[in-house]
Structure 1
Amino acid sequence: MTVIDPSLYLKNQSSARTPSPDLGKDEFLKILMTQLQNQDPTSPMDDREFISQMTTFSSLEQTMNMAKSIDNLVQSQLISPVIQYSHMIGKEVTYEAYDEETGEKLGEQKSNVIAVSQKEGWAILELENGEKVYADSVLQVSDQREPDEGSE
């Protein structure tokens, strides 16, 4: 029967510690437990001090949870411009049209959005009239016009 020396396991463990600038709840609890284990028996920790430290711990945990929730919210807001403007498909938009050659203003035009794409992080609305406009250049958005059904 082979006997394994338990000290061999301990010798193979890394003795280098990597310090962390963050004090998490695990570290806080370790400090609190060490403090309780090593207190002077003739002068134990005051109840108020213990409650104060537990309140601090609870506050720390709530702050960490709130920070994590805020991070998740921020990450969810960083969505693709295509997804962000996809609700505009089927809507009528009003935009300022320009002559591509001269850059001269042609006045306001209206058309229905048939697709949304993106270029270099900017949302581009593809319109029924063949035009493509940046979403941030739209002046007005409204429900799609119904085609005239013949007037009497």
Structure 2
Amino acid sequence: MVRRLLPLLLLLGGCSSTPDVQLSCGIVSGYLEPPAAEHLYRVVVTHLNDKAVLSRPNFRLSPGVYRFTLAELIDDPRLKVALAARGTKYLDLKVEAGKRYHLAAQLYTDKPYVGNNPDYWQPKVWQEEAVECEPDVQN
């Protein structure tokens, strides 16, 4: 009986052993506090590729181009725009394998921004760093 099962077990064992495929990804983060001295502030991701997401500190993504919808968290006494002007903005980002991208809101201080002027800020990547990761299942 063992002699009959041995070839079958060897065959099945060969089927289950596949070469290690290393998955690669990049990470987009919004959890680090950017340097306020450079007029940079935190942001919250509200949408990824136009789909609403629950905000989280890190988004592990396969390499590719993604569209982030961001809301700024600017807390600066110079900012005098109306609450209605404090809307979301887009950031299109090419995510590369092995990189972490830290997002921020760049507050423009070149002139006073008041009323309904939404041009007081722009989303940006304020820091990049090398990282090892595997993609989330829910990409």
Alignment TM-score > 0.5, same fold: no
Query: Which has more radius of gyration?
Result: 1
Relative contact order higher in (CA < 8 Å, ≥ 6 apart) = 2
| TM-score, length of structure 2 as denominator length | 0.31
More strand by share: 2
More helix by share: 1
